[in-house]
Amino acid sequence: MMIRITLPDKSVKEFPEGITGLEIARSISEGLARNVLSITVNGEVWDLDRPINEDAEIKLHTWDDKEGRATMWHSSAHLMAAAIEELYPGTKFGIGPDVENGFYYDIDLGEESISSNDFDKIEKKMLEIARRKEEFVRTEVPKFEALDYYRRKGDEYKVDLINDLEDGTISFYKSGNFTDLCRGPHLPDTSPIKAVKLLNTAGAYWRGDESRKQLTRVYGIAFPKQKMLKEYLEMLEEAKKRDHRKIGRELELFAFSAKVGQGLPLWLPKGAELRENLEKFLKKVQRKAGYQPVISPHIGNKNLYITSGHYDKYGEDSFRPISTPSEGEEFFLKPMNCPHHCEIFKNKQYSYKDLPVRFAEFGTVYRYEQSGELHGLTRVRGFTQDDAHIFCRPDQVKEEFTSVIDIVLLIFKALEFQDYSVQISLRDPDKMEKYIGNNENWDKAEQAIIEATEKKGLKAEIVTGEAAFYGPKLDFMVKDALGRSWQLGTIQVDYNLPERFELEYIGSDNEKHRPVMIHRAPFGSMERFVAVMIEHCAGNFPLWLTPDQAIILPISEKYEKYAKKVLTLLNNYEIRTLIDERNEKTGKKIRDAETRKIPFMLIVGEKEEAQGTISVRKHGSGDLGTHTIEEFVQMVEQEIHRLIPEI
């Protein structure tokens, strides 16, 4: 029997039934066969040696795909467990999944313990086993047999896991002497794992339950090449230097206070200025694109969130309601701006000719996060979204998407994010019943999103089944200067809120129609965006954005008067400038300005005063020579226009 195998480019090849992923890879090229790590078969990631017995859509995964990396990392978790079992016999094992960057395993060492001092020994053992080229062998086991195996081994954690599984769904993977309860998939054998590094340990309660035993979670990462590990460790080192919490403190951008409350950032003057510059830029762009500003309060009546459905989502597990002393009204801290904007839309009767209507607000929202989850500006409890809601007709979705994409691309250019891509989330064709809204509109909107991204020439990944129940969406992912991916802006179609709020406009037929709502936030939140920005540029913000653009350094107090004159001139040109009036040597003033990452240092002394000039130094690139004020102003304007031509 022959089966039909559809490749990602939609080409179809025939193979005998029982063909494996590895054999398909080999039929394409030997090089691919050497590098392939796993295979997706009809949406499920499989081992490469598992026979395919029916027609299938497949994708082969190498290190370049996240599925390929996940397979290697999960296999490395087994490898680490095998090494630990050899070195510390009697260790019990919890769970050992792959994660975004590497893998971990939760282990119970009994009386023993391990720390970073033991990493070297474990890594060596892992590589020794990897070189043995141990095959990963999958076997399906009946539940009683699986339970029996781990009861005899004395591993109560695995017994606990198996108890939750259904008979007939249980599989073991064995490599060398190590057997693990596991769904797979795995590498064919351990040999592709060429470099490993254990990163740290942490305490982890079994099943996340504080009343149960605390296990040791050991984190690690693995690579198919030694060179990749070296580069990764260098990247980690650099990431530490760029940590936004560290730079935020050094540049006095933001702070946290236990008294104010965890996860509630305080923007210091320099940080507030930075944020204001971002807001001003976006407001200007949005005004041009036909957005109207609106402002809504920080709290809303419970009924508002019952109507919107947010009460179900955030009500029980979030901040407690606020109630009024005599009326007994209940209010919630606003978790989303959308319900408020729906009510703003309802305030007026719109006709089809008025649409689209676009309401924009830098709206601050509050969402409860557990204290352990909080992290700098990236995970906070109060944050400001650069939010807007577009209410449009179904036939306007494509145009609106295109113009939001334009705004996002303008932002990426202005902030020098050169490497970005988009992910389009569509419905799962097998579960059409779970989506609300009419089919025809969904089809139109999904098509509109795909066409809009094609028109803009964006690198797009289309994921079916990832759409929210209320509409398809587009997410922007950027890679920062260290190659790390961040999900930033989102554009989300919504058929749900217009329904729940019974929003209407009068159509050309004089009948009432429901508008489509589009949520969009190009930055996402100001907090998270600023954090990403800081780590991307290591605190060297683009000139248009940075709080202080220039600092005047008089070489002695004799030239302070001239320095003040220069300051007035530059202020007139709206160049954000300071003077360093301290009684310090010029060398020290330059070093301090460099530390503060101020783009331009303007040195003034006798010669400059006599000529009416300034000596210009640029942060990171040194002396640019002597210039007149006008020449310097031009220099600044040119640099600003390079990134934001229209301001």
Give the catalytic positions in this structure: 338, 367, 385, 387, 389, 473, 519
Give the range of 104-112, 193-201, 331-339, 482-490 binding Zn ion by CB under 5 A: 331-339
Find the residue with minimal CB distance to Zn ion: 182
Nearer to Zn ion, 56 or 338 (CB): 338
| CA of residue 202 relative to chain centroid, distance | 23
Q: What is the DSSP string of 257-326?
A: -TTT-TT--EE-HHHHHHHHHHHHHHHHHHHHTT-EE----SEEEHHHHHHHSHIIIIITTSSPPEE-TT
Nearer to Zn ion, 338 or 397 (CB): 338
Nearer to Zn ion, 514 or 519 (CB): 519
What sections of 218-268 are H helices per DSSP?
A: 226-242, 244-250
Contacts (Cβ under 8 Å, ≥6 apart) of 99: 73, 219
CB of 190 to Zn ion, least distance (A): 12
CB of 367 to Zn ion, least distance (A): 13
Size of the site for Zn ion (CB under 5 A): 3
Helix (H, G, I), strand (E, B) or coil at 115: coil
Nearer to Zn ion, 137 or 482 (CB): 137
CB of 387 to Zn ion, least distance (A): 6
Distance CA(324)–CA(537), nearest Å, equals: 46
Q: Which of residues 155-184 bind Zn ion (CB under 5 A)?
A: 182
Nearer to Zn ion, 296 or 549 (CB): 296
Distance CA(629)–CA(517), nearest Å, equals: 50
By C-alpha distance, which of 642, 549, 528 is closest to 277?
549
Structure token pair of residue 321:
């309601």
CB of 641 to Zn ion, least distance (A): 33
Binding mask 179-198 for Zn ion (x = CB under 5 A): ---x----------------
CB of 519 to Zn ion, least distance (A): 3
Distance CA(365)–CA(539), nearest Å, equals: 26
CB of 625 to Zn ion, least distance (A): 51
By C-alpha distance, which of 580, 621, 622, 630 is closest to 604?
580
Told to check if 338 binds Zn ion by CB under 5 A, we report yes
Q: Is 313 left (phi over 0), alpha (psi -120 to 50) or beta?
A: alpha
Nearer to Zn ion, 338 or 408 (CB): 338
Q: What is the DSSP string of 529-542?
A: HHHHHHHHHTT---
Distance CA(350)–CA(365), nearest Å, equals: 28
Told to check if 519 binds Zn ion by CB under 5 A, we report yes
- Write the CA distances from 9 to 13, 25, 38, 123, 183, integer angstroms: 11, 15, 18, 40, 29
Helix (H, G, I), strand (E, B) or coil at 119: helix
Told to check if 340 binds Zn ion by CB under 5 A, we report no
CB of 390 to Zn ion, least distance (A): 10
Nearer to Zn ion, 247 or 338 (CB): 338
Give the range of 26-34, 204-212, 335-343, 456-464 binding Zn ion by CB under 5 A: 335-343
- Counting beta carbons within 10 angstroms of the beta carbon of residue 468, is it exposed (0 to 12), middle (13 to 18) or buried (19 or more)? middle
Contacts (Cβ under 8 Å, ≥6 apart) of 251: 270, 271, 539, 596, 597
Residues binding Zn ion (CB under 5 A)? 182, 338, 519
